[in-house]
Amino acid sequence: MKTVMVDMRDGIDKEGMRLAGEILRNGGLVAFPTETVYGLGANALDERASARIYGAKGRPSDNPLIVHIADWEDIYKIAVDIPGEAKLLADRFWPGPLTMVLKKSDLVPLTTTGGLATVAVRMPDHETARALIRAGGGYVAAPSANTSGRPSPTKAQHVAEDMDGVIDMIIDGGDVAIGLESTIVDLTEGIPTILRPGYINQEMLEEAVGRVEMDRALISEDSSVRPKAPGMKYRHYAPRAELIIVEGEEHCVRDQINRLVAEAESAGKKAGVIGTEESLLCYRSGLVKSIGSRADEITIAQHLYGILREFDELDVDVIYSESFETPHMGQAIMNRLIKAAGHQIMEVQTPEACSDGSADTGKLR
Ligand code: AMP
Ligand code: MG
């Protein structure tokens, strides 16, 4: 199949948008920009169309899709028993990076919801995305536009790497603004519960609707606790190289990474380092990349997936990353990074041990 790339970086191209809408209404697949990551869209109410998404991504069929809408009223067609919190959250955060899980109506095929009786709904804060949703009939099922398991796409080029020749169209809207997927909140069981952390954090949600809980699987150290969002159980966002997160006091982390890179290199391996603007000059060898600035955490979120893809291009064997427990988005950033690392986290020694030079005993958790 020939994949058409349409450039909408400087705004909506009318003819391109007309064609994209036609593709969606005829059951085809169109990748498009949103403020979070690029989505792979199909008509959410057409069972065959949403089945094609699973095929293109190699996505397990029990991993439900988020349905994107462009106007609040459209929610009434796909969701039932909508609680008051949904309107409060929509008034505060839509359009924006928040997905709400609600009871589904009969119009939504089970293929779209991965067999669940609930539907996840979001209204993206991106003009091109909303124009596409309207052009395509109002309901666009869209997971991230990457091959299942790979880092999510934050630019059209990433989509092309995974989807060229597999889908009908890619709309290029330039680099995304946030770089991590939406926050998912479940409104079907009493107290609203966060199933996936994102830019909109617990505190912001609580300001709008009162008490909000976190899914136990997000906070439990026990990795056998089953997440309520089916997609959260899979290894995800992962580069081809082994990825290890090093945690601890900042200068100990840098020392430890320097040691690990030296060891890897003397074993003949190609090693990568994920540092920040602040730490970049502290690393002595390896392929060192800055993910952004600790002083501006959105830059860290924006660059996370791109940097993992860059290391894939460079064919490194092992990547050592600092950890990024930043104040606002830290939970979301670390949730993705830990999954990408397949839970490989190394804790370095206390600062005392580190400064006396004996901290070569970092251990994997
Ligand atoms: P993606 O669109 O690739 O970011 O993935 C969508 C995420 O939303 C996955 O983690 C899904 O498991 C989750 N999701 C979608 N629909 C539901 C639902 N009805 N209930 C719980 N989680 C959902
Ligand atoms: Mg995804």
Judge whether 40 and 163 are in contact, CB under 8 Å.
Answer: yes
- 3-class DSSP state for residue 282? helix
CB distance 232 to ligand 1 below 6 Å: yes
The position carrying tokens 């602040």 is 278
Task: Take atom 11 of ligand 1 and give the residue whose Cα is closest.
Answer: 231
70 against 360, higher pLDDT: 70
Q: What is the mean pLDDT of the chain?
A: 94
| pLDDT over threshold 80, residue 352 | no
| pLDDT over threshold 60, residue 64 | yes
| Of 204, 136, 158, 161, nearest in space to 37 by CA | 158
pLDDT (0 to 100) of residue 166: 98
Provide the pLDDT confidence category of residue 232 given band limits of 50, 70 and 90. confident
Report residue 302 as tokens: 């924006």
Question: Over the stretch 71-117, which tens digit does the pLDDT of each residue have?
Answer: 999 999 999 999 999 999 999 999 999 999 999 999 999 999 999 99
| Of 57, 73, 31, nearest in space to 157 by CA | 31
Report how far residue 33's alpha carbon sits from residue 56's, in angstroms, rounded to the nearest whole number: 18
pLDDT (0 to 100) of residue 235: 67
Q: Cα(360) to centroid of ligand 2, in Å?
A: 36
Q: Which of 32, 75, 101 to mutate to test the pocket of ligand 1 (most atoms within 8 A of CB)?
A: 101
Question: Over the stretch 130-180, which tens digit does the pLDDT of each residue have?
Answer: 999 999 999 999 999 999 999 999 999 999 999 999 999 999 999 999 999
Report how far residue 363's alpha carbon sits from residue 360's, in angstroms, rounded to the nearest whole number: 9
For the beta sheet containing 287-290, the strands, ordered from the edge strand earlier in sequence to the opposite edge, are 287-290, 271-275, 318-322, 242-247, 345-347, 363-364
CB distance 119 to ligand 1 below 6 Å: yes
Task: Take atom 23 of ligand 1 and give the residue whose Cα is closest.
Answer: 229
| pLDDT over threshold 50, residue 38 | yes
Provide the pLDDT confidence category of residue 359 given band limits of 50, 70 and 90. very low
The position carrying tokens 């109506």 is 105
The helices-and-strands tally (H runs, E runs) of the chain is 12, 18
Q: Cα(21) to centroid of ligand 1, in Å?
A: 24
CB distance 321 to ligand 1 below 6 Å: no
Pairing of the two strands 193-196 and 79-80: unpaired
Q: Which residues contact 98 (CB under 8 A, 6 or more apart)?
A: 89, 122, 182, 183, 185, 198, 200
Ligand nearest to the CA of 237: 2
Report how far residue 172's alpha carbon sits from residue 62's, in angstroms, rounded to the nearest whole number: 29
Question: Over the stretch 209-226, which tens digit does the pLDDT of each residue have?
Answer: 999 999 998 877 666 778
In this structure, the number of other CB atoms found within 10 A of the CB of residue 320 comes to: 26
Provide the pLDDT confidence category of residue 363 given band limits of 50, 70 and 90. low
Report how far residue 259's alpha carbon sits from residue 133's, in angstroms, rounded to the nearest whole number: 50
Helix (H) or strand (E) holding 108: none
Q: Which residues contact 51 (CB under 8 A, 6 or more apart)?
A: 111
- 3-class DSSP state for residue 179? coil
For the residues of 295-325, what is the DSSP string, one character each? TBHHHHHHHHHHHHHHHHHTT-SEEEEE---
Cα torsion 11, 17, 21, 26 to 10°: value is -140
Report residue 36 as tokens: 């979070």
- 3-class DSSP state for residue 228? coil
pLDDT (0 to 100) of residue 261: 98
Report residue 226 as tokens: 């089953």
Ligand nearest to the CA of 64: 1
Provide the pLDDT confidence category of residue 200 given band limits of 50, 70 and 90. very high
| pLDDT over threshold 80, residue 70 | yes
CB distance 64 to ligand 1 below 6 Å: yes
Question: What b/e string do you get for 176-192 counting C-beta neighbours within 10 Å, with b at 16 or more?
Answer: bbbbbbbbbbbbbeeeb
pLDDT (0 to 100) of residue 53: 98
Q: Which residues contact 44 (CB under 8 A, 6 or more apart)?
A: 50, 65, 67, 68, 78, 108, 112, 139, 140, 141
Q: Which residues contact 267 (CB under 8 A, 6 or more apart)?
A: none
Ligand nearest to the CA of 62: 1
| Of 345, 301, 290, nearest in space to 323 by CA | 345
CB distance 230 to ligand 1 below 6 Å: yes
